[in-house]
Amino acid sequence: MTWWSLVLILVWLATFVAGQLFFKRAMELSSVTGFHNRKTIAFLGAGIFSMTISFLLNLGLLQRFDLSYLYPFQGLSIIMIGLLAAAILKEKLTWRLTIGTLLITAGVVLVSMS
Amino acid sequence: MRDRPSGFGNPWLQLGLNIICVVLYELLLKTGAKATADLSQTWSWTGITGLASPLIWLAIVVIILDLMIWLYVLKYIPLSIAFPLSRVVDVLVPISCWLILKEEISTLRWCGIALVIIGLAIVARPAARLEERL
């Protein structure tokens, strides 16, 4: 793997995680103010933009690498989303949830590496 | 979690539908991407050449449907619970390959599947508590 591929994989992950956080924030706002709110639309738009970039990068990576090679990296997104949901969205991250999330991540990595 | 709709609008049922959509589009994307990998060396890193495949467009339709379902799920379930639960696809795909396609699963892979299932069971507990608070 070249450094360029690593950069693409990192950007793919970062845009995916950011997209999920934007979507969650948009849906939180929509619960309070509905969809006729500029902020809701902005977050939704940012989420869709972020996810589109992530989708295209994923396609490009799939053309070069096996799905089983890329999957462990996707496993990392589970931890990143858990941590960032707690830090940015102020979701409650209990010990139980943290341990469960870590086990799922480890399992996903193991399944795709074997 | 706000007032939860019941029946077809149940967010947990919708999370299940989301998982089915993800399995479907992952398979479509991989097949489509493989078919178009050799179209252009210059542009293939952007993934844009994948758009030449009808399978990719079908995958895009499923992704848009899945996105609407996912946004609905996020309206009711915290991201830190919904996202790990949605990763059940990572065991569903190898298990269905084993059951339907009769593919071999190595011991290491079975260990990984077991870890994911234990992790899901642990995450499901906070999810159940969330349900009780309704």
The domain locations on chain B are 7-132
Structurally, chain A folds into a number of domains equal to 1
Work out the angle between the directed axes of helices A38-64 and A67-87 (0-180°, nearest 10).
Answer: 160
By CA distance, what is B109's nearest residue in A?
Answer: A111
B133 confidence band (pLDDT: 50, 70, 90): low
- Over the stretch B76-98, which tens digit does the pLDDT of each residue have? 999 999 999 998 888 887 777 77
A–B CB contacts, 8 A cutoff, strictly below: 163
- Prediction pTM value: 0.80
B47 confidence band (pLDDT: 50, 70, 90): low
d(CA B70, CA B88): 15
Average pLDDT of the residues of chain B: 82
| For residues B9-14, average pLDDT | 89
CA separation, residue B127 to residues A95, B63, B133 (Å) = 14, 25, 10
Q: Is A35 exposed, middle or buried (0-12, 13-18, 19+ CB in 10 A)?
A: exposed
Query: Would you write out chain A's pLDDT as a tens digit for each of its 114 residues?
Result: 688 888 999 999 999 999 999 999 999 898 888 777 888 999 999 999 999 999 889 888 877 887 777 877 888 898 999 999 999 988 888 888 999 999 999 998 888 776
How would you classify residue B53: left for phi > 0, otherwise alpha for psi between -120 and 50, otherwise beta? beta
**Residue A89 belongs to domain spanning:** 3-113
Evaluate if residue B29 carries a pLDDT over 70. yes
d(CA B24, CA A14): 24
ipTM: 0.85
The most confident of the ranges A17-26, B5-14, B16-25 is: A17-26
Do residue A101 and residue B36 have CB atoms under 8 angstroms apart?
no
Residue B41: its pLDDT value, please? 64
Give the A window 29-48 contacts with B, CB below 8 Å.
Answer: 30-31, 48
Interface test with B, best of A11, A22, A68, A103 (most B CBs within 10 A): A103
